[in-house]
Structure 1
Amino acid sequence: MILLVLIYNGSYADVSVEDLKKAYANEHSKFIEINGMQVHYRDEGKGFPIVLVHGTASSLHTWNDWTTALTKDHRVIRMDLPAFGLTGPNKDANYSIEAYTKFLQQFLSKIKLDKFYLAGNSLGGNIAWNYAAEYPEKVEKLILVDASGLPTNKPQPAIFKMAKTPVLNSLFLYVTPKFFIKKNMEQVYADKTKITDDLVTRYHKMALRVGNRLAFIDRAKTDFNLGEKSNLEKLRSIQTPTLLIWGAKDTWIPLDNGKRMDRFLSNSKLVVLENSGHVPMEENPKESFEVLSSFLND
C-alpha cells in the first residue's frame, strides 16, 4: 500500500524542452549543435573569459551567483552538460570522462575560445582537471570546487546506488518524487535552511527533461576507474596554477579528497570553507567568490 501511494504521488511525466525553456532559458541563453545535441549555454560579460562546468544532476544555473559577480570584469561561459539541464542526453549514451572532456573541447572550439580560466564543480571539476591535463596551453588558471576524480573511500550516495540497481532504476524513469530531489539536496548542502522551494523545483524540473532520467541512469553506471595509475599521473602532470575550494562539510566528496588532490597537484592552493557542503558556489556564493576573486586577481 505504501509503495502504491509512493508511486501514485511520485509519478511524473517527462517535461518538454520547450516548456523548460519558458522557465529556465533567458535572453543570454543560446543553443549550439554538437554531436546531434542542442547544447544550452550562456555567454555573458566582457573581459578575459572564464568557463564554468557544473556537476552531476545540476545545470548551468548552479553558477548564477558567481556569474553575476564575474561578469563585471570577465566574459563568463557556462553550459548544460550532456545528460543534464536543457541539453539532455547524448545519443550514444557515452558519459565517460573521456567523452565529457572531448565534448568540452568541441564546445570551446565551436565558440572559438582559445585561452581562458576553467572552473568545475564535482563531475565538472573532474572534467576540468582532465581538460587542463590534455590542453595545458589553453587553461590559464584552474579552479576545482569539490572536484571528483579520486576514490572517496566511502559508499556512493543513495541516488547513485538506486540508479545502478535493476528494477529500482526502471522505476526511477517514471517515479521521481519531488521530496526525493529535496532529500538529495539536503545531503549536498551543509545548511538545509538555504534549500528553497524554487531551488528544489528547478532541480526537479531539470531531472524531468525528456531523456534526462534515462541519461542519469546511464551516467551512474559509468565506471570512471578512479584508482587507475594513469589517472593519478595525469593529475600530477598539471602545472597550471590551481585553486581548490572545498566545503568542510561535504559528505559526497569529503575534504580528505581535496587534501589528497592538493598533494598530487604541483602548483595548487587549497582553501577550506568551514560552513559549506558539496556546492559552495551555490550554497555560500559570497564567501566562495571572495576566494575565487583573490585567486584570479593574484
Structure 2
Amino acid sequence: MSKTSKKKYTFYAILIVLILLIKSVVYSDISVEDLKMEYANKYSKFIEIDGMQVHYRDEGKGFPIILIHGTASSLHTWDAWTTELTKTNRIIRMDLPAFGLTGPNTTADYSIKSYTNFLHQFLEKVKVDKFHLAGNSLGGNIAWNYAAEYPNKVEKLILVDASGLPTNKPQPAVFKMAKTPILSDLFLYVTPKFFIKKNMKEVYADDSKITDDLINRYHKMALRVGNRQAFIDRARMDFKMGSKANLEKLKSVKTLTLLLWGAQDSWIPLDNGIRMDSVMQNSKLVVLENSGHVPMEENPEESLQLLLEFLKK
C-alpha cells in the first residue's frame, strides 16, 4: 500500500472515530409524551399555571405535606419518602418550572420570587390551605421564602440542604458551564450520560448508590424539550443573598423548622446549615454524617426517621 493510500485510510479512520465520539455525546430533545410513558404514573396529574402544564402527584390521605425538589431534579427524588408518608399523610409534589415533565417557564423567569409565586398559585389550585412544607436545595430556598411570605399556611418547615446563603466556595462546574458563552450553547446539544454521572457523584456521598436507572432518569429529564435552555436560564439567575433585605427575610421565618443536612454535601456545605440555623428563630439542625446533597434520595430511611420524629413533636 502506498503512503498516499495509508494517509487516506488513516484520515477516514480518524474521521469515523470522531463521528462516533460526537454521536455518543450529542442527544436530541425528548418529547413530553415520550417521557410521560416512562415517568408519569396513575397518580400523575397536569395543571395549567402561567401557560405551563405542571406535572404533579397527589397521593394519600391526612394532613398535607408538600415536597419541593432541587435544581435539575424532579418530583421523583421524593419517591422513597412518599411511599412511607402516604400511609399517614396526603403527599403533594410537583416538577418545578424548568425541570422534569413540567418544562420551561414561558417567561424564562427563574428568580426565587417567580418560583415562590408559582408555588402559591399551585397550592391555591390544588386547594390546600394548611400544610407541612419540605424542600431540598433550590426547593428549600423556595420553601423558606414561601414560609416568610405566608406564615399562617405552613405548620412546620423542613429544609434539606437548602440554598439561600452564599457558599463562599466556587460554584459547581455545571453551573459555570451554563453561564459561559459557547459552552452553554454546546450544552444544548452535548449532554452525555457521563456528565450526568459526574454531577451525581458530586451530590452523593456514596457512589455505589448511583444506579443506571437513576442516571437514566436524570439524563432523560434533562433532555425534555426546552429543559436544557431552561437550565441555562436558571443558572444565570443570581440566587445569592447579597442584600440585607433577603437576610432579614430569612430571620423573619418563625415557623418551627427542621434543618436536615448531609455532612458530606460538596455543593451546599454543612457550614451553610450551621449559619442558617444561627439566623433562623425557631430551627433545629440535624446532620446526616453519611449523606451528601440529597439525603432523602441517598439515605431515605435515615432522613425519613428524622422527619417523622420532628413531625410527631
Matched, 1:104 2:122: no
Q: Please give the alpha-carbon distance, in whole angstroms, between the structure 2 residues aligned to 1:221 and 1:142.
A: 28
What are the within-5 Å matches in structure 2 for residues 69-84 of structure 1? 69-84=84-99
- Within a 5 Å distance, the mapping from 1:250-289 to structure 2 comes to 250-289=265-304
Q: Aligned partners of 2:104, 2:283: CA distance in 1, in Å? A: 34
Is 1:25 the counterpart of 2:40 in the alignment? yes
**TM-aligned CA deviation for residue 6 of structure 1:** 4.5
Q: d(CA) in 2 for partners of 1:171 and 1:296?
A: 45
Question: Quick one: which amino acid aligns to residue 157 of structure 1?
Answer: P
Q: Aligned to 2:196, which of 176, 181, 194?
A: 181
Q: Provide Cα deviations, 1:236-292, integer angstroms capped at 9, x if missing partner.
A: 001100000000000000000000000001100000000000000000000000000
Quick one: distance in 2 between partners of 1:3 and 1:90? 36
Which structure 2 residues correspond to residues 49-198 of structure 1 after superposition, within 5 A?
49-198=64-213
User: Is this contact kept in 1: 2:296–2:304, CA < 8 A?
Assistant: yes
> What amino acid sits opposite 2:116 in the alignment?
T
Task: Provide the secondary structure at the position in 1 that maps to 2:90.
Answer: strand
Partner in structure 1 of residue 309 of structure 2: 294
CA drift at 1:227: 2.0
Q: Distance in 1 between matches of 2:168 and 2:104?
A: 29
Counterparts in 2 of 1:145 and 1:3: CA distance versus 1, 3 Å: farther
Q: What code does the residue aligned with 1:154 have?
A: K
Give 1:223 shift: 1.0
Shift of 1:228: 1.3
- Is the contact between residue 165 and residue 240 of structure 2 (CA under 8 Å) also seen in structure 1? no
Query: Which structure has the bigger radius of gyration?
Result: 2
* 8 Å CA contact 2:135, 2:143 repeated in 1: yes
1:258 and 1:38 mapped to 2: Cα distance?
34
**Distance in 1 (alpha carbons) for counterparts of 2:163 and 2:236:** 16
Match of 1:219 in 2: 234
**What are the ranges of 5 or more consecutive residues in structure 1 without an aligned counterpart?**
none
Q: Aligned pair in 2 of structure 1 residues 223, 188: CA closer, same or farther (>3 Å)? A: same
SS in 2 for 1:13: coil
Q: Is the 8 A contact 2:204 2:293 kept in 1?
A: yes
Deviations 1:115-135 (A, max 9, x none): 000000000000000000000
C-alpha distance in 2, partners of 1:278/1:87?
Answer: 23
Aligned mates of 1:241, 1:216 — CA distance in 2: 32
Query: Partner letter of residue 18 of structure 1?
Result: E
Q: Is residue 51–residue 106 contact of structure 2 (8 Å, CA) maintained in 1?
A: yes
Aligned length: 298
The answer to whether the 8 Å contact 2:164/2:240 transfers is: no
Deviation, structure 1 residue 5:
5.6
Q: Which runs of 4+ in 1 moved over 2 A?
A: 1-8
Shift of 1:225: 3.6
Partners of 1:39 and 1:253 lie apart in 2 by 27
Structure 2 residues not aligned, in runs of 5+? 1-13
One-letter amino acid matched to 2:162:
A
How many angstroms apart in 2 are the aligned matches of 1:9 and 1:28? 34
Amino acid at match of 1:239: K
SS, match of residue 286 in structure 1: helix
TM superposition shift of 1:4: 6.3
Aligned to 1:42: 57
**Over the residues paired in the alignment, what is the CA RMSD in angstroms?**
1.1
CA distance in 1, matches of 2:194, 2:49: 34
CA distance in structure 2 between the partners assigned to 1:225 and 1:253 by the alignment: 12
For residues 158 and 276 of structure 1, what CA distance do their matches in structure 2 show?
A: 21
**3-state SS of the aligned residue for 1:43?**
strand
Match of 2:129, SS state, is coil
What is the one-letter code of the residue matched to 2:220? K
Paired residue type of 2:241: L
